[in-house]
A = this chain, B = another copy of it.
């Protein structure tokens, strides 16, 4: 299957990536126009059918995935990356289950956002409609292929995927199955297409396809996202890093401070909503207990002088530098700073924040309000772990990523963020005076 697809894409769309991806985007637009009119029932049926076919063809997927894994091993890929790349029966069931969960979510398309009858009798309403053609650029994680294809389908969009060379065979197998399933369901197969045959040039063509691709979603590490943000002429939704702070105020109850900080740092240390810097008020009675709990949890501490003095006798630590304040460790490490006041904490955060999630632990109402009002971030937590910045946790359903930009979507993005709106204005021959 895979070799045939490679040949066919080039045969159909030609060798020039820019031209080829443009033609694929045109096909995607046509498919999207049909999909935009499909009701929720049809889209959910398709999602469930894709889930079924993915499970039924698990062996073929695993076989294709094995080729990627073998090549990865030969290329000296790290075991962490190989683990991300790997698909087994359990993970394939997970992919199918994610599609089933998607089918159970409400459909944002057709929602009336606002509306009224104007003084002159014009009836107007603003409704949610699909974006149209979405592009996705990501790295070596075949699960993203199914995730994004499912989210695009549910929100009524066609999608052009660039999944990276490391997962080439896995992604081809998955895209093939999804397209077959769409065909079974009498939906246009070009709802889901891959530009991977064009390699890296496929990604560049997607970034340049202004007017043909409505929005581009990069998913992956810092380098990938920055490259897309800097180079794309297509509008991008930036899902970003989290240099997340927790400020423990003077009045913070000890148990609460320990619980929140330890959870924010250690619940899962490689996620963007994981805390990276702890800021302690100099009078925070909870300070030493929090530091002791972090040390006990195996977190390496990078501390300023005053924080060093709060550490339990003999705790290993290193001196914090500006690099520590600016680093998203994504690891069992944490920078610690002691401040004289709430204002100093806010200024430190303003200097180093990536505007993802910032938290305060306090029992002082005025300080909580000042923190909420002063911090410019996608999410502000009061007495809650930063790990709650998550679409699932906040009850928003399937998550495409967490946006750290201010336009269109901020914070966890769900199905709604893949829609735009359309004004519908109805009159009886109304004209402007």
Contact = CB atoms under 8 A, between A and B. Distances in A.
Q: Chain A's interface: helix, strand, loop or mixed, by majority?
A: mixed
Contacts of A423: 378-380, 389, 394, 410-411
Interface stretch (A8-16, A116-124, A167-175, A176-184): A116-124
Given A384-B122, A431-B260, A422 B410 contact: yes
Given A376-B129, A423-B394, A431 B263 contact: yes
Nearest to A382: B426
Contacts of A431: 259-260, 262-263, 267, 384-385, 387
Nearest to A368: B426
B387 A432 contact: yes
A382 to B, nearest CB: 4
A145 to B, nearest CB: 23
A429 B260 contact: yes
Interface in A205-251: 210, 214-215, 229-230, 233, 235, 237
B256 A122 contact: no
A372 interface: yes
A427 B383 contact: yes
A420 B394 contact: no
A407 interface: yes
A352 interface: no
B267 A388 contact: no
Given A380-B425, A394-B423, A408 B410 contact: no
Contact of A122 (B214, B380, B388): B388
Contacts of A186: none
Contacts of A214: 406-407
Contacts of A210: 229-230
Given A376-B129, A406-B214, A421-B411, A116 B395 contact: yes
Contacts of A388: 122, 425, 427, 430, 432
A131 B355 CA distance: 12
A366 interface: no
A2 interface: no
Lowest 9 A-B CB distances belong to which pairs?
Answer: A384-B427, A263-B431, A256-B429, A406-B420, A408-B408, A379-B423, A384-B430, A387-B432, A407-B408
Given A36-B376, A214-B407, A378-B422, 9 more contacts: A33-B376, A215-B406, A260-B430, A267-B431, A381-B426, A382-B426, A383-B426, A394-B423, A407-B407
